[in-house]
Structure 1
Amino acid sequence: MQLSKREFLIASAALSLAASLRSANAATAINYWHHFASQSEMAGLAKIIQLFAAANLDVAVTQEGIPNSEYMAKVSSAVVAGGRPDTGMVIAERFADLTAMGALVDISARVNTWAGKANLPDNRWTGMSQDGAIYAVPAYAFVDWMYYRKDYFEEAGLSAPPKTFEEFLVACRKLTDPSKNRYAFGMRGGAGAFKYVIDVMEAFGSPLVKDGQAAIDKPAAVEAITFYADLFRKEKVVPPSAPNDSYRQIMEGFRTGQTAMVWHHTGSLIEISAALKQGEQFSTAPMPAGPKAHIARVAYAGNGIFKEDNVEAAWKWISFWGETDAAIALLEATGYFPASTAALKDERITGNPIYNAATQTLEFGRLPNRFVGAAGWSENVVNPTFQAVLTGQLTPEQAVDRFIEGLEAALR
């Protein structure tokens, strides 16, 4: 969501006001580390703090934003040298590393006696639990889906978005017209490309890890990389800038009409809706299925307790994110989908068809891969290696060999 400077200042003031009100009442003070950064995220956080303050006069929450790229380093330093926060953000992709460093407090006993647990099915807890112990409360999810230009599809005589990779390729060919600087698909080949590379490999039937060991199926992975890279190399259905395009570029391409489809998650809905009309110019659909598997990630994010001090107040704060009003406040500000089934039944979701694709994806979506070293391998091996395929420096076969070598090293 693009907020005006005035709206951003109001949101920032709300955060400060909530904290000052709590202090005035001699409330128990706790702090919260997060890596929200955008104006829309800060607006959502401001609303949640306001709602929490109104319901919990005895707790004062002070938020501290940390750049995403620095979050894990700061937590690690706090664990080693002292200075842990009371509470902090926990995302599924980083859960294994957080628990490995001993950053999180076991909250199993509290969760198991909490009424809100009934609204959070077992799959919500998978990315927040380990060895039977629960370390964080799921709050929201990044649900993968596809945005597509409904008006472009109608112009091309396409009656519906593609449901399979085969249909996706057919649609790509029909939607591309370089003479108009119009391309079918906004491929993310720059920063963050690894996510979709991995998803396509799994959609072609290649696992990553089994029983703690590298398990990439080379023939399936090569087929996957060939298919995905050929959208750029052979089919020419993605913009020429694809090898360097990251989030900002693929979003701009879609918002400005350069591309007809883009893969992302629910978190970008507000931004796109600010530029295009829902249901008229664009709509959403589940990710297309590959030949061997239907892959879409549902990455739950939540909040955990990082130290035992003020644990009662800390628990009130992290469990509050499971309340329907808190979940909807974040959704309306950011597009981040609620983890709670109670919130999913709210008419603000059920009454808006744009969310249907996300609700469908919850039925088959997979959690992100979780293993120690996953982030480093994805960002430092998969990303640059795939870029090298796009630019002709590596073949798909050579790229998969590097994936396997890097994964084996990461798992040692």
Structure 2
Amino acid sequence: MTSFDRRSVLKLGGGALAASALLPAHAFGQSTAINYWHTFTSQSEFAGLDEVMKLFAAAHPDITVTQENIPNPEFMAKVTAAVVSGSRPDTTMVASERVADLVAMNGLTDLTDRIASWDRRSDFDDARFKSITVDGKVYGVPAFTFVDWMYYRKDWFDEAGLAAPTTFAEFRDAAIKLTDPAKGRYGFGMRAGAGGQAYVINVMEGFGAKLVQDDGTIGLDRDKAIEAIDWWAGLLTRDGAVPPSAPNDGFRQIMEAFQTGQTAMVWHHTGSFQDNAKLLKPGVEFATAVIPAGPVNRVSRLGYAYNTVTNPDTIDAGWEWLKFWGEPDAAIAFLEKTGYFPASTAAAKDERISGNPLYKPAADTLGFGIPAPSFPGSAGWAEGVVLPAFQRVLIKEATPEQAVDEMIDGLAQAIG
């Protein structure tokens, strides 16, 4: 690998619920009330949370949980203000990229010993706790997993005699063949608007331009990154296989296009399964597949949402709420409403999941999927440099070479 142009690298430091999982009813001697902050917004997410809360209330009639939605863009500001003012919530859902900042402000409670002695601990692979561990201390329990996969119009593929693509080459071929602008159809719904930076990085890594190396150094292989950007942008600029609106298309636009018959394929995660299933017949009109493999790497992301104790004064009740999410019945109830995959390997092996062929690509991805690269400054670099640079390639205001050089310069600045 050749490091980026400034040759600067950074080493990074660093079924029925089992009775044994539950405390006896009224174990706390009196009713205990706790609250739970989260960033859920969709109807399916609230329906899933409601199911988990119902199951928890039946198992723990002595603990009352009150949920409160905090809009994602406001989350860190509200938690920070709550910690500073001494009005912190009892428990909260935390995305992996926010853990370090919350620990730094003393916003999370150390749960290392409780997790180590938890009878469900062996249900979770050690890797599930990596992002919630800081300096050897574990601050939360994985609640669920965002598993990257692909949705595709099975009826269109069957009509064209095509199989679900397994490689980037097959994916591009299918996207071209299934494009018919006269019918308002395009082969792929590219997310190159808000949130599209993650896919740009994934494709670069699929071509071998790995961002964070095994030894912790950060760099970008210029030649491989250029090849990746040229290929990814070429789906629009050369092949015409994605909608012309791609540079502005965020989550809502790509999903609506897929659901209304404008695109044949879309990349997202398991969380959109139920929304798709409301409008398209699963297994007939649409199906799921593993993200295709790039020329060098297969890059499918696993992202974890964690539940944490924020208020040490209510840690006993908070811990019961956190660990309840690890029960297979709770995890599967949440999956069935939202499409969010269990973080527990035991739950993932449950017949309700393993027996459903539409969930198999997600189950397979759990075996090789990896978290998104993360380092101080990574989020700002991806959103503020990577995405705008790529968008300029799509609208032909920059070449792939110019875009990658901009990314390289921005990366050097981001890591100092």
TM-score between the two structures when normalised by the length of structure 2: 0.90
Superposed, which structure 2 residues align to 1:89-108 within 5 Å?
89-108=93-112
Q: Name the amino acid aligned to 2:184.
A: N
Equivalent pairs: percent with the same residue? 57
Task: Indicate the residue corresponding to 1:366 in structure 2.
Answer: 370
Q: Which runs of 5+ in 2 are unaligned?
A: 1-25
Alignment of 1:88 with 2:92, yes or no, is yes
Question: Alignment partner of 1:316: what SS?
Answer: helix
Superposed, which structure 2 residues align to 1:2-401 within 5 Å?
27-158=31-162, 160-210=163-213, 213-401=217-405
In structure 2, how many angstroms separate the alpha carbons of the residues matched to 1:26 and 1:193?
49
In structure 1, how many angstroms separate the alpha carbons of the residues matched to 2:373 and 2:308?
20
Q: Give the Å deviation of 1:97.
A: 3.0
Q: Give the Å deviation of 1:303.
A: 0.4
In structure 2, how many angstroms separate the alpha carbons of the residues matched to 1:410 and 1:301?
25
Q: Give the Å deviation of 1:339.
A: 0.8
Q: Name the amino acid aligned to 1:204.
A: F
Q: How well do the aligned residues superpose, as a CA RMSD in angstroms? A: 1.6
Q: Name the amino acid aligned to 2:43.
A: Q
Question: Alignment partner of 1:228: what SS?
Answer: helix
Q: Give the Å deviation of 1:212.
A: 5.7
Residues 64-123 of structure 1 deviation map (CA, whole Å, 9 limit, x = unaligned): 101011112222222334322111112223333333333222211000000010111112
> Taking structure 1 as reference, are residues 83 and 327 closer, same or farther at Cα in structure 2, changes over 3 Å only?
same
In structure 2, how many angstroms separate the alpha carbons of the residues matched to 1:245 and 1:172?
17
Q: Give the Å deviation of 1:208.
A: 1.7
Q: Give the Å deviation of 1:124.
A: 1.2
In structure 2, how many angstroms separate the alpha carbons of the residues matched to 1:405 and 1:86?
42
| Alignment coverage as a number of residue pairs | 388
Q: Give the Å deviation of 1:405.
A: 2.4
The answer to whether the 8 Å contact 1:305/1:311 transfers is: yes
Residues 15-56 of structure 1 deviation map (CA, whole Å, 9 limit, x = unaligned): xxxxxxx9xx95222111100011111111111111111111
In structure 1, how many angstroms separate the alpha carbons of the residues matched to 2:332 and 2:151?
21
Question: Alignment partner of 1:33: what SS?
Answer: strand
Of 92-101 and 118-127, deviating more is: 92-101
Q: Give the Å deviation of 1:375.
A: 2.1
> Taking structure 1 as reference, are residues 102 and 389 closer, same or farther at Cα in structure 2, changes over 3 Å only?
farther
In structure 1, how many angstroms separate the alpha carbons of the residues matched to 2:31 and 2:222?
58
In structure 2, how many angstroms separate the alpha carbons of the residues matched to 1:207 and 1:308?
40
In structure 1, how many angstroms separate the alpha carbons of the residues matched to 2:192 and 2:122?
40
Q: Give the Å deviation of 1:264.
A: 0.4
> Taking structure 1 as reference, are residues 80 and 222 closer, same or farther at Cα in structure 2, changes over 3 Å only?
farther
Question: Alignment partner of 1:309: what SS?
Answer: helix
In structure 1, how many angstroms separate the alpha carbons of the residues matched to 2:149 and 2:79?
31
> Taking structure 1 as reference, are residues 394 and 154 closer, same or farther at Cα in structure 2, changes over 3 Å only?
same
